[in-house]
Amino acid sequence: MTVPDHLPSTPRRALQEENENGIFRRSDYPLTLILVAVVAILLITGLGFLLKSHPVDLPLAKAMNSLHSGAFGSLTSAIYHIISPVPAIIITAVICALIWLVGKSLRTAIAFGGLVAVTWLPSAVVKLLVHRPRPDAALMPHAFSPVQTDASFPSGHTVFIVAFVIAVAYLLRGTRWQRPWKVIGTVLVIVVALAIMIDAMHFPTDVLASVAWSLAVAPAVRVVGVDLLMPRIPFLAPASERREIAR
């Protein structure tokens, strides 16, 4: 596959050429994306309440947890810890710093970090609202230790990793790295999702709902944050608009 001359050919060049950077490319259907996100949030929240009273996937959760043994079980537990909230925040902050320092673009760094954070953090509100218990450790063949006492739906780990993958995909859109990242990102999501289910930290439906959350919410977050809000903030506006203001 060849890359047109006007498109960035490396991640660094992609970050430097802000106007061509995929994360700043305006959506053709902004209102549709926002509407889809709102409907998805309502449906996912309603699904959470339904699953709270009808844990239809408990047998599948037990079956998945039966795989948690030996070195493989240790690996899945390590994956769970690696993208726990504090490490996830650190990972996002480091990527933002690299974007700023290597790509020389604070604007891109803020767009990336904001997209991940604003897609991820509101899911915690739904988790508190629905308050679905985690899979009962007493029923699991290999209960996770220590027992997690917070709510289960949706999975914050899954929401984060999908939001992270989508944010990177936006950064690389229009470059030769776009297709490889789609493969790498998909593998990352599958690995994390399987690890969480094998650990029995979440029901399978928690994980699936979390993937749906990020897929629906992230594009709307980009529209609202990048297309609508950032241009209104002087130091975050596109360079062309800043020059117009300076005149």
CA distances from 203 to 76, 151, 227 (A): 15, 11, 36
Read off the pLDDT band of 26 (50, 70, 90): confident
**Is there a domain that residue 36 lies in?**
no
Q: Is the peptide bond before 154 cis (omega within 30 degrees of 0)?
A: yes
* Number of domains making up the chain: 1
**In the chain, helix, strand, coil percent, each to 5?**
75, 0, 25
**Is there a domain that residue 46 lies in?**
no
In this predicted structure, the answer to whether residue 16 has a pLDDT above a threshold of 50 is no
**Is there a domain that residue 35 lies in?**
no
CA nearest neighbour of 218 among 165, 182, 177, 175: 165
**Is there a domain that residue 10 lies in?**
no
**Is there a domain that residue 132 lies in?**
yes
**Is there a domain that residue 50 lies in?**
no
In this predicted structure, the answer to whether residue 7 has a pLDDT above a threshold of 70 is no
Please give the structure tokens belonging to residue 225.
Answer: 């944050």
Long-range contacts of 29-35 (CB under 8 A, 24+ apart): 30/223, 30/227, 30/228, 33/219, 33/220, 33/223, 34/220, 34/223, 34/224
In this predicted structure, the answer to whether residue 240 has a pLDDT above a threshold of 60 is no
Mean per-residue pLDDT over the chain, rounded:
85
**Is there a domain that residue 97 lies in?**
yes
**Is there a domain that residue 26 lies in?**
no
Q: Is 201 exposed, middle or buried (0-12, 13-18, 19+ CB in 10 A)?
A: buried
Pick the more confident residue, 115 or 5: 115
CA separation for the pair 175, 14 (Å, rounded): 7
Please give the structure tokens belonging to residue 149.
Answer: 């006492």
Tracing tokens 């990048």 back to the chain, one arrives at: 226
| Mean pLDDT lowest among 11-20, 37-46, 138-147, 166-175 | 11-20
CA separation for the pair 197, 93 (Å, rounded): 27
Please give the structure tokens belonging to residue 9.
Answer: 């050919």
Domain that holds residue 74: 60-237
Read off the pLDDT band of 21 (50, 70, 90): low
Tracing tokens 């996002």 back to the chain, one arrives at: 92
pLDDT, position 67: 87
Please give the structure tokens belonging to residue 137.
Answer: 């450790």
> Over the stretch 66-91, which tens digit does the pLDDT of each residue have?
888 888 888 988 988 888 889 999 99
pTM: 0.84
CA nearest neighbour of 158 among 219, 211, 215, 112: 211
C-alpha 72: how far from its chain's center? 25
In this predicted structure, the answer to whether residue 242 has a pLDDT above a threshold of 80 is no
